[in-house]
Amino acid sequence: MRRFIVNFLLIIFSFVLQTTVFRYIDFGGITPNLLLILTVSLGLMRGDKSGTLVGFFCGLLVDVFFGTYIGFYALIYMYIGFIIGKFHKIFFPQNIFLPMLFIVVSDFVFGFTCYILFFLFRTKFDIDYYMLHVIVPEMVYTTIVSIFFYPVILRLSTWLEDIEQRSAKKFV
């Protein structure tokens, strides 16, 4: 329950930051994708189920406020969360480089999926342009922000785990 509330607050916090503060400090109209960082990080720290759920709610928020049809972004974020969550069993989340690599790759996949779904289907074929002006800048900016954002999420997550373990010990 405690974890649920913390995750819920984290999602809302990231969404509000992404749509307000980072719009003031954008570079060339590009903002970092905080919600994606959150989905990938929690997927890596907690496993595929958390990744799926967090991705779903992140996407749903974007859909309700900015999407034309509810469910598009929810689907994309959710699948990214699920796939990244599969790596939870293989890697330790403490080292920051691997999560960053996952964030780079998943932001690229996210941008590319958006391009295919929203632009390629409307016969906008100039992929070089979109790659250079939207996908890659967003990827770089997101990665830079994740250097600062990821440790915060990690610390919150380990703190919660400590509390959970302590209460479990008390129970035994």
Question: Which residues of the shown chain bind other proteins in the complex (CB under 8 A)?
Answer: 12, 15-21, 23-24, 28-31, 33, 35, 47-49, 52-53, 56, 61-62, 64-66, 68-75, 78-79, 82, 85, 114-115, 118-119, 122, 124, 126, 129-130, 133-134, 137-138
Specify the residue, 87 or 159, whose C-beta has the smaller distance to other proteins: 87
Residue 116 Cβ vs other proteins, minimum distance, rounded to whole Å: 12
Specify the residue, 66 or 97, whose C-beta has the smaller distance to other proteins: 66
Contact 78/40 with Cβ under 8 angstroms? no
Residue 122 Cβ vs other proteins, minimum distance, rounded to whole Å: 8
Which own/partner pairs from 12-18 qualify as long-range (CB within 8 Å, at least 24 positions apart)?
Answer: 12/61, 14/38, 14/58, 15/58, 15/61, 15/62
- 39: tokens are 């989905």
Specify the residue, 86 or 96, whose C-beta has the smaller distance to other proteins: 86
Residue 13 Cβ vs other proteins, minimum distance, rounded to whole Å: 9
Residue 41 Cβ vs other proteins, minimum distance, rounded to whole Å: 17
Helix (H, G, I), strand (E, B) or coil at 27: strand
- Looking at 86-135, list the stretches that DSSP marks H as alpha helix, in order from N- to C-terminal side: 97-114, 127-130
Specify the residue, 36 or 156, whose C-beta has the smaller distance to other proteins: 36
